Amino acid sequence: MSTVNEKITSEIREKVRELLASGHVAAFLGYTSGSVPMVMQPLIIRTPEDADRLEWNSFCVLNLANYLPALLKSFEPPRRPGDPPPEGPLPKVGVLATGCWSRNMVIQVQENQVDRDRVVVVGISSRGMVDRKKVLAAVGHRDVTAVYEYDHSLKVSGPGYEREINRWDVVRDNCRTCVHPDPVIFDHMIGDLKGERDVADRFRQVEDIEVLAPEDRWSWFSTEIASCIRCYACRNACPLCYCPTCFVDDSRPQWVGKSIDKADTAIFHILRAYHCAGRCTDCGSCESACPMGIKMRILTRKLQKDVLELYGAEAGMDMQSPPPLSTYKMDDPQDFILTESIKGEEK
């Protein structure tokens, strides 16, 4: 009998074959297996015959929205700055989208990075993706040569061992606390919508740090980023980071040093998180991409919690609501801006 993921894979292939054969899309962005176990790589296909290369499993952790603007642009005629936009309809592209990826696509449309009319979204309600670092920890960091995925467990094997692991135990932290697994925009759906999830301690990871004294919070932050090698895989994996020149790469002016100096590294993490405020969907792509296992997502999660509490808004939930920090109302609450110093003055 087929597993859930095998059924999803088969339905994806059928739908994508149809979209490409009918000429409805010129290319489709999905996943195929990487060269080592537990790594799936994004794949762009352009012919119906290639649909059989597409695969789906719990290791599809990189947010596909990140590749969408460049894929759309690849079908546009070259333009110099100031040239008028191309005339006539441009080819459409198809893309897979779970809940968080679809919300990143909403942000991309709102920020004029993606033309919704040129994207055919094939939605999948997410069951949560697996964290390969948790799997490696569960097998004592031994070599993994094969992983077979059942619906609720993983069979992991390597030289001289085989181990069955409960799937939910190794699901990524962001997926375990995700309340919106369904895509918010889609043109075709693979399987059914699952509805909102009820997660009682949704922001527990953040709350555990919020209750600490300021010096302990600083100590947590300094320790967490101490092993950062400034490779920028986290930034590069994020669909929100599309600046032509990132502040860390700018040299005129140079906003931040390029070394792994503690202060420079701290500035990188703090500023990157602020740039994602009100826009981050907690997709976890940044954390999944980090080679050093740094939990930088907790910073954006804190901002997500603050934006929800202060503005009652979550990024990308619908096309009509702009990202909360890019809009302004005369009666916006402002007292929180100086909360800490006002408290200090009262003492």
Binding site for ligand SF4 (CB under 6 A): 63, 104, 228-235, 237-238, 240-241, 243, 246-247, 272, 275-276, 280-286, 289-292, 294, 296-297, 300
- Beta-bridge mates of residue 155: 148, 164
Query: C-beta of 65: minimal distance to ligand SF4 in Å?
Result: 8
Query: C-beta of 130: minimal distance to ligand SF4 in Å?
Result: 16
The string of DSSP codes covering 276-338 is TTTT-----HHHHH-TT---THHHHHHHHHHHHHHH---TTS-TTS--GGG---TT---GGGG
Compare residues 127 and 275 and give the one whose CB is closer to ligand SF4: 275
> Are 9 and 58 spatial neighbours (Cβ–Cβ below 8 Å)?
no
Query: C-beta of 52: minimal distance to ligand SF4 in Å?
Result: 30
DSSP 171: B
Helix (H) or strand (E) holding 339: helix 339-346
Compare residues 193 and 270 and give the one whose CB is closer to ligand SF4: 270
Closest C-alpha among 280, 185, 285, 292 to residue 230: 292
Compare residues 165 and 260 and give the one whose CB is closer to ligand SF4: 260
Query: C-beta of 100: minimal distance to ligand SF4 in Å?
Result: 7
Query: C-beta of 226: minimal distance to ligand SF4 in Å?
Result: 10
Strands 119-124 and 188-190: parallel
Compare residues 95 and 289 and give the one whose CB is closer to ligand SF4: 289
Quote the CA–CA distance of 316 and 300 in Å, as a whole number.
15
Query: C-beta of 338: minimal distance to ligand SF4 in Å?
Result: 25
Query: C-beta of 103: minimal distance to ligand SF4 in Å?
Result: 9
Compare residues 133 and 230 and give the one whose CB is closer to ligand SF4: 230
Exposure string of 137-162, with b = 16+ CB inside 10 Å and e = fewer, is eebeeeebeebebeeeebebbbeeee
Strands 146-149 and 119-124: unpaired
Compare residues 27 and 276 and give the one whose CB is closer to ligand SF4: 276
The structure tokens listed for 34 are 């990487």
Compare residues 120 and 248 and give the one whose CB is closer to ligand SF4: 248
Compare residues 4 and 266 and give the one whose CB is closer to ligand SF4: 266
Closest C-alpha among 42, 26, 15, 238 to residue 122: 15
Helix (H) or strand (E) holding 188: strand 188-190
Query: C-beta of 293: minimal distance to ligand SF4 in Å?
Result: 8
